[in-house]
């Protein structure tokens, strides 16, 4: 090589890099996932549960091309869209089980746990309580080991609902307490916080009879559900109105439903509770009963509403019976039934219960069908007299004991 001659580097041809190609593939996959989500949301809006279910099944292979976290989020979103329609087609549990089986096969542990948490909720919705308790117990043990607090809160909440439905109030309250304790250490999405508030309100209203506190929880739940446009906002609003009726504040129902947030939920459900509130406020037992029957489609699907409406009916019946029998010392049960326009058998049963509970002082002669009421001043005061005597004797004995101690000291 001659002196002074420069050596040029070999020229290279420009080819697309592997990273650029991978980026392009990732963009295509993300675009495809966005398209799937868009189609799913449209189907959910149209309540097209059949095609949405098929969309979830058909697009599972595409999820193998993305990260496990992204795939889990995608499947959970699609399942949530399907279940939030609340179509109750009867295939929800099987669809969830199929997705769990797929996630297990593909070793998507996080996804499997998320789907199992939703399956616990489905077991509650469809009344398969024992299956829900068994799955929740296994899942809680697993989640505590990996310290997945967000999912722990969900499972505790569903477990509380199941125990409450079974009437095991102590365990329902314990599960709810665990959920509320755990949620203080993490960020809680508005929808989940609203679900916790709703369950807290239900337990305070149904078991502790603390309707003022329950109303506060229902109000918080209503605001939370409304902020995320959840259909459960209407349920929370109905519970708010129910609490006002139970607290003898039925006149506040109209002001609540005419508020800015509640105004858009006006419809048959709200009309039902407004009519119930009016009938209860005016002590119209028969009108109340007719409204409950007329709006049975609104109430029958909700065990909480059914429970409290039944209690309200019993309370209203007691008030009407006390008012009707008050002027009498002896009256035929048949006559009482005619005055309040209810079947004689129902009236006799209720009067007997009121006598046993001490709400009425009297007796029913079943042979003649006559209710005999005792005068209030005929109450036997023996118990109070004996109790007062014992208290006075105790004072005397204490006084004598003190004097004996002084005499002993002087001697």
In a domain, 46, yes or no: yes
In a domain, 281, yes or no: no
In a domain, 59, yes or no: yes
The span from the CA of 237 to the CA of 256, in Å, is: 9
Count of the separate structural domains present in the chain: 1
Q: What is the pLDDT of residues 191-224, one digit of tens each?
A: 999 999 999 999 999 887 889 999 999 999 999 9
Whole-number pLDDT of residue 81: 83
pTM across the whole model: 0.76
Three-class secondary structure assignment of the chain: CCCCCCCCCCCCCCCCCHHHHHHHHHHHHHHHHHHHHHHHHHHHHCCCHHHHHHHHHHCHHHHCCCCHHHHHHHHHHHHHHHHCCCCCCCCHHHHHHHHHHHHHHCCCHHHHHHHHHHHHHHHHHCCCHHHHHHHHHHHHHHHHHHCCHHHHHHHHHHHHHHHHHHCCHHHHHHHHHHHHHHHCCCCCCHHHHHHHHHHHHHHHHHCCCCHHHHHHHHHHHHHHHHHCCCCHHHHHHHHHHHHHHHCCCHHHHHHHHCCCCCHHHCCHHHHHHHHHHHHHHCCCHHHHHHHHHHCHHHHCCCHHHHHHHHHHHHHHHHHHHHHHHCCCCEEEHHHHHHHHCCCHHHHHHHHHHHHHCCCCCEEEECCCCEEEECCHHHCCCHHHHHHHHHHHHHHHHHHHHHHHHHHHHHC
In a domain, 301, yes or no: no
In a domain, 344, yes or no: no
Domain extent for 91: 33-126
Whole-number pLDDT of residue 1: 43
Whole-number pLDDT of residue 377: 54
Whole-number pLDDT of residue 355: 87
- For the chain, residues with pLDDT lower than 70 are 1-27, 86-87, 376-380, 409-411
In a domain, 195, yes or no: no
In a domain, 155, yes or no: no
Whole-number pLDDT of residue 382: 80
Whole-number pLDDT of residue 380: 61
């Amino acid at each position: 090589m001659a002196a002074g001659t420069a050596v040029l580097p070999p020229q290279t041809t420009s080819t697309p890099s592997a990273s650029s190609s991978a980026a392009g593939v990732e963009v295509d996959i993300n675009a495809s996932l966005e398209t799937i989500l868009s189609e799913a949301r449209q189907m959910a809006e149209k309540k097209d549960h059949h095609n949405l279910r098929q969309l979830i099944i058909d697009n599972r292979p595409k999820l193998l091309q993305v990260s496990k976290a992204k795939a889990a989020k995608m499947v959970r979103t699609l399942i949530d869209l399907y279940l939030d329609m609340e179509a109750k087609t009867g295939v929800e549990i099987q669809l969830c089980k199929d997705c769990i089986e797929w996630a297990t096969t593909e070793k998507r542990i996080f996804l499997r746990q998320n789907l199992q948490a939703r399956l616990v909720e489905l077991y509650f919705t469809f009344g398969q309580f024992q299956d829900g308790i068994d799955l929740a117990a296994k899942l809680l043990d697993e989640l505590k080991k990996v310290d997945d607090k967000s999912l722990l809160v969900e499972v505790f909440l569903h477990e509380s609902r199941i125990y409450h439905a079974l009437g095991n109030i102590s365990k329902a309250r314990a599960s709810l307490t665990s959920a509320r304790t755990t949620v203080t250490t993490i960020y809680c999405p508005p929808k989940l916080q609203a679900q916790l508030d709703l369950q807290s309100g239900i337990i305070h209203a149904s078991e502790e009879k603390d309707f003022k506190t329950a109303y506060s929880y229902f109000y918080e739940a209503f605001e939370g559900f409304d902020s995320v446009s959840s259909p459960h906002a209407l349920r929370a609003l109905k519970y708010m109105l129910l609490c006002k009726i139970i607290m003898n504040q039925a006149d506040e129902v109209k002001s609540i439903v005419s508020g800015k947030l509640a105004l858009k939920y006006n419809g048959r459900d709200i009309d039902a509770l407004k009519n119930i509130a009016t009938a209860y406020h005016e002590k119209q037992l028969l009108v109340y009963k007719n409204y409950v029957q007329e709006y049975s489609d609104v109430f029958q699907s909700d065990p909480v509403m059914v429970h409290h409406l039944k209690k309200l009916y019993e309370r209203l019946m007691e008030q009407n019976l006390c008012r009707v029998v008050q002027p009498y010392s002896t009256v035929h049960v048949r006559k009482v039934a005619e005055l309040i326009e209810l079947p004689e058998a129902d009236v006799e049963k209720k009067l007997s219960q009121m006598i046993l509970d001490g709400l009425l002082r009297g007796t029913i002669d079943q042979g003649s069908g006559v209710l005999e009421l005792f005068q209030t001043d005929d109450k036997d005061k023996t118990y109070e007299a004996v109790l007062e005597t014992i208290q006075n004797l105790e004072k005397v004995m204490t006084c004598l004991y003190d004097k004996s101690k002084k005499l002993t000291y002087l001697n």
